Amino acid sequence: MNSIQESIKMRGTTICCVRKKNQVAIAGDGQVTLGDTVIKHGAKKVRSIRDGSILTGFAGSTADAMNLFEKFEAKLDEHGGSLTRAAVGLAKDWRTDRYLRKLEAMMIVADAERTLIISGNGDVLEPDEGVAAIGSGGAYAKSAAIALVRHSDLNARDSVSEAMKVAADICIYTNTSFTIESLES
């Protein structure tokens, strides 16, 4: 990658998902950057689909993520709404398709029973502790969320909100314009 391409490389996004008791919540910040410039403050990187039964969040290139949302929804249709089968199908296509392999994004998807991280390497991972996070501030949000799940009485929605605030305080590519979606199991 040449220096011009490197200087305008898109960075950022923090997506965090917390599962606690009978609730799962996913949050994403709204910041979109291009190089060292903030382009947008209120992007929506988290969505509720399938009449609110599935939550999704993406980190990475916006155009790539939109493509992945569409492909994931098609996989859900193809696999009768099964989250796991749709995630595995998307990961397989993502890893083997020449066009999809070039996409620079990751996804977290969750339903009432499980949370999965999907990557372009063909990974479909179910994280421990009921916490998943991706993106530039993902490690900060995950650490805070694990502590909150273990040591607080906050529900999943409040825990993910507080974890995202910690990430926004530390990661320069994460802002406090959060979108949060949740569902009860």
170-183 tens-digit pLDDT: 999 999 999 999 99
| Other beta carbons within 10 Å of 64 | 18
pLDDT above 50 (res 9): no
pLDDT band at 11 (very low <50, low <70, confident <90, very high): low
Determine the residue type at 63. Answer: A
As separate numbers, helices (DSSP H) first and strands (DSSP E) second, the chain gives 5, 12
Q: Which residues are catalytic, by number?
A: 13
Domain extents for the chain?
Answer: 3-174
* pTM for the full predicted model: 0.90
Averaged pLDDT, 55-83? 90
| Other beta carbons within 10 Å of 134 | 26
Instruction: Point out the least confidently predicted range of 3-7, 38-42, 113-117.
Output: 3-7
Determine the residue type at 140. Answer: Y
Averaged pLDDT, 23-31? 96
pLDDT band at 132 (very low <50, low <70, confident <90, very high): very high
Q: Can you say whether the dihedral through the CA atoms of 185, 152, 56, 42 is positive or negative? A: positive
Look at residues 108, 91, 111 and name the one whose alpha carbon lies nearest to residue 51.
Answer: 111
- Say which CATH topology domain 3-174 has: Glutamine Phosphoribosylpyrophosphate, subunit 1, domain 1 (3.60.20)
Determine the Cα–Cα distance for residues 170 and 185; give it in Å rounded to an integer: 32
